[in-house]
Structure 1
Amino acid sequence: MSDVRKTLRGTDGSVVGAHQLVDDVHDFADEWGYGVKQLGKHTHNAVKMIDKIGKSFDKLDLDLAESMKPQKPKGK
């Protein structure tokens, strides 16, 4: 994602000609750069949450397996 942002940041809108069109290309690149940055941020947060959920399920699975083992009688 950072490579995309760098590419968009370096966009040379002057190649399109007309001044207003140049400004529009630069605005577009800025907006997309911001959007890509936000996507990267939210994707990173989603990965962290998925990892946390995975660890919680692993622990629950181990706890369930442990609870299903036959219990040894006490005092014998």
Structure 2
Amino acid sequence: MSDLSVDYEVLNRVRHNLDQIADLMKKPGREMESVDGTSMGVPELARRMDDFGDEWSYGIKQLTKFSAKASKALLKM
């Protein structure tokens, strides 16, 4: 006898939500990559904006990958 019970309907909803998160995050990630810091005018602000855009884009890509992988893992259960 097992103490573990799995509600597959809940898992399917979680997987669907993770798929939606991955899809939702792709657009802002692409848009942030194209932000050009020089449009800020001040050189230091432009450099910081470029750095922020790069880091933000990387973070969004990581969240997108995690969501997609978590969704696939739930399909294997």
TM-score range, shorter chain: 0.5 to 0.7
CA distance in 1, matches of 2:64, 2:39: 29
Q: In the alignment, which of 40, 47, 70 is matched to residue 23 of structure 1?
A: 47
Equivalence for 1:50: 74
Question: What RMSD, in angstroms, separates the aligned Cα atoms of the two structures?
Answer: 1.1
Question: How far apart, in 2, do the equivalents of 1:6 and 1:40 lie?
Answer: 12
After TM superposition, the score normalised by the length of structure 2 is 0.62
Unaligned runs of at least 5 residues, structure 1 = 54-76
Letter in 2 for 1:17: G
Q: Of the two structures, which has the highest relative contact order with CA contacts closer than 8 Å and spacing of 6 or more?
A: 2
AA aligned opposite 2:26: S
Q: Output the CA distance in 2 between the equivalents of 1:43 and 1:13.
A: 29
> Displacement, 1:27?
0.4
**Whose Rg is larger?**
1
Residue 4 of structure 1: which of 1, 7, 28 is its match?
28
How far apart are residue 24 of structure 1 and its match? 0.3
2:33 and 2:66 mapped to 1: Cα distance? Answer: 20
Question: Which 4+ runs in 1 deviate beyond 2 A?
Answer: none
In structure 2, give the amino acid aligned to 1:32: W
TM-score by length of 1: 0.63
In 2: Cα distance, 1:8 partner to 1:16 partner: 14
